[in-house]
Structure 1
């Protein structure tokens, strides 16, 4: 039997028969259980879900095409332009690229009193010269960024196509968003812009699609602070200028002080907190005193308070290193500059919120065992602002995220997560019968 036809039959069977709503200890209330059951008996919704199954090969095709368009940090424009074309070809009221590079595709609602966003980030962690050719072996696709996050981008098109095929109308506006700057030094610049005063839309509910296991529903934002600590000096010859202030020596002292104090702090009772010296650089040659020494530091915590406290420990350690090293008898001195390179706020939303209850109910209905989790995703920003927000998985089976040999496998139930995105979006938007 053809795979798409089999999925279609299974999807209809699931919709008509329903499934158990209480799984893995996460239970939707009767109110939202009933709401989702009613939603999924709507004929237009059934048509949309069946379309997702029937167009699976097209979704894969879109995923491959988008993957093979490089989208390194701060250089997402080419992929964004193709994303705009895909939305236009599928059918959308309007689509544009905003001031920072986000793609926004508006599907107008009838009442237009609320705006619901379905998001997938455009960027990858890989530099521009990376080979992004997709290699296919059976149902497994391998290429940098394919699971994180071009699969998510292709899912947005699939959801839109399903809604258009079924001629579904909603009360609220739905904006499909491709965000820039989710990864690394991008520092969530795309979603930060959308929740700033400069944004052209006011967002009432936010749904992101990103990596992770199929059952993961993120309702907590893992906050982080990131810095580039830079020690500078005059520099000189390792023999002729011996004794001159050495930025490497000062940085080494700073790292030692920070690791000692931070280790004591994270060992204390409280929400999990972490720290990491991720990159170190500087210097010109083995026989030269460097004129600059730098380190990039990442600190994370589930608690906004603890994140601020370890941030304080880091700054104090680096400043102490500067002072004590300069007072150690060296010639001249070093100077310290702390450059912020990342700031993701923490926060957790109650599982009683309608958006989260709907997500649990939808996942359970589709036979996905829902697990509420905390993560570092685009949802951090709305969560910290107490705006209903979640991040759900792109489904299938991912592997080696952020590696050159990253993979995504199209498992038999992979389209369930596309259906999940569709149903949550419709439940939040309110369909017009």
Structure 2
């Protein structure tokens, strides 16, 4: 009974902490009228119908793209197929940039503004993962089928629907399949888009995440490190007494967990996680190397810097304390390498892009909710560029797991129509 009570408390705390970042909002009258006027336009209505009619093709695209493995830094094959699909959907020009992003331009009637609609090409799974889609009734099972392959198919369908319905915008629209959103990809695709003013982007709409109604306007910052303890290595019997990196890394994890646990107990929500540990060659060998990868996140840039400082201090403390006890051979050394950095940030609720997204969501009778997350939008949000991340619709779960699944219910097509309506509202419907 005590265990059940403790579990209930922990679940409540986790839910409450997440809910603190979510805020239900209502539509402003002026934007409600604007969205209704756009939605009633004959071309937009025609595009909505085309989206509905394209449902079988959208699902076919989903299965085909899902079955092309695309880990970070290995998205090329999927990118090539996505580019072919973009050509079929229709665009004024299509190209691949220096890091592998696939871009398609649809020119606007009035020069001077550029709006991006994107989803990311990569998934978290290694190249050898079985990504064959399996069917159980109306449920599709495959690693990456939701996150974010479903988003890619939405981009394609919106492109095709706008072309067939002759929906023209004032601003240029760039549709993008972005590389490197997941894991050690470290948002490299979107970072490149904004690097040194590579391209003028005035508004940024990313499709990632599940439920329709999600409007992510707050960026969850993160830092990731790889800590590597190195030693001489040797035979477990013959070289016994040499410094053992595994023993030191165990001490380091304990030190960090204790200090970081106390640090995150108060103040802005902050998390930490030792996600991967490795090293060693055999059970009867003293390892010459032991490494771990650490993920740290916070809603507060200052708090994130604080836990980063704790990590560095506790890794050094563990190294020093362990080396004091080494009686034979060389001492251990430590290499602490930053392998990922995503900035925090937050955009005000009264930005036109956000207000249009709220009104468009309400138009489809969904509850708009402002949220915080770690997505491609982190970069433009941190730079002050109007940006949101919206959901993929349908039903899905187990993202980043081998048994990830997706059901295309009535909200699937609705999410595509919603994304298009937000895009057209932000880019301006041309007369």
What interval of TM-score do these two structures reach, taking the shorter chain for normalisation? Answer: over 0.9
Q: Note the alpha carbon deviations across 1:19-72, whole angstroms, 9 max, x for none.
A: xxxxx8411222211211111121111111111111111111111111111112
Alpha-carbon separation, structure 2, partners of 1:26 and 1:196: 33
Cα distance, 1:241 vs structure 2: 2.1
Partner of 1:272: 269
Match of 2:322 among 320, 325, 333: 325
Partner of 1:346: 344
Alpha-carbon separation, structure 1, partners of 2:24 and 2:380: 26
8 Å Cα contact 2:360/2:421 also seen in 1: yes
8 Å Cα contact 1:346/1:380 also seen in 2: yes
Cα distance, 1:329 vs structure 2: 4.2
Match of 1:239 among 224, 231, 237: 237
Cα distance, 1:124 vs structure 2: 0.9
Give the secondary structure class of the aligned counterpart of 1:387: coil
8 Å Cα contact 1:211/1:398 also seen in 2: no
Alpha-carbon separation, structure 2, partners of 1:411 and 1:124: 23
Partner of 2:80: 81
Matches within 5 A, 1:4-403: 25-197=24-196, 199=198, 201-268=199-266, 270-331=267-328, 332-403=330-401
8 Å Cα contact 1:254/1:321 also seen in 2: yes
Cα distance, 1:403 vs structure 2: 1.5
Cα distance, 1:138 vs structure 2: 3.4
**Greater than 3 Å deviation, 4+ residue runs:** none
Give the secondary structure class of the aligned counterpart of 2:349: coil
Which runs of 5 or more residues in structure 1 are unaligned?
Answer: 1-23
Alpha-carbon separation, structure 2, partners of 1:159 and 1:390: 17
Alpha-carbon separation, structure 1, partners of 2:411 and 2:336: 47
Alpha-carbon separation, structure 2, partners of 1:323 and 1:136: 54
Alpha-carbon separation, structure 2, partners of 1:65 and 1:293: 39
Q: Note the alpha carbon deviations across 1:391-419, whole angstroms, 9 max, x for none.
A: 10110000211122211101123211101
Cα distance, 1:87 vs structure 2: 1.1
Give the secondary structure class of the aligned counterpart of 2:294: strand
Partner of 2:10: none
8 Å Cα contact 1:209/1:394 also seen in 2: yes
**Cα gap change, 1:35 to 1:198, in 2 (>3 Å):** closer
Give the secondary structure class of the aligned counterpart of 2:83: helix
Alpha-carbon separation, structure 1, partners of 2:127 and 2:111: 40
Give the secondary structure class of the aligned counterpart of 1:78: helix
Cα distance, 1:198 vs structure 2: 6.8
Alpha-carbon separation, structure 2, partners of 1:387 and 1:76: 27
Q: Note the alpha carbon deviations across 1:328-354, whole angstroms, 9 max, x for none.
A: 343321110011111111111111111
8 Å Cα contact 2:68/2:78 also seen in 1: yes
Partner of 1:424: 422
Q: Note the alpha carbon deviations across 1:89-115, whole angstroms, 9 max, x for none.
A: 121100111100000000011112111
Give the secondary structure class of the aligned counterpart of 2:190: helix
Partner of 1:13: none
**Cα gap change, 1:205 to 1:336, in 2 (>3 Å):** same
8 Å Cα contact 1:224/1:344 also seen in 2: yes
Which runs of 5 or more residues in structure 2 are unaligned?
Answer: 1-22
8 Å Cα contact 1:211/1:393 also seen in 2: yes
**Cα gap change, 1:320 to 1:59, in 2 (>3 Å):** same
Partner of 1:17: none
Alpha-carbon separation, structure 2, partners of 1:79 and 1:43: 35
8 Å Cα contact 1:223/1:304 also seen in 2: yes
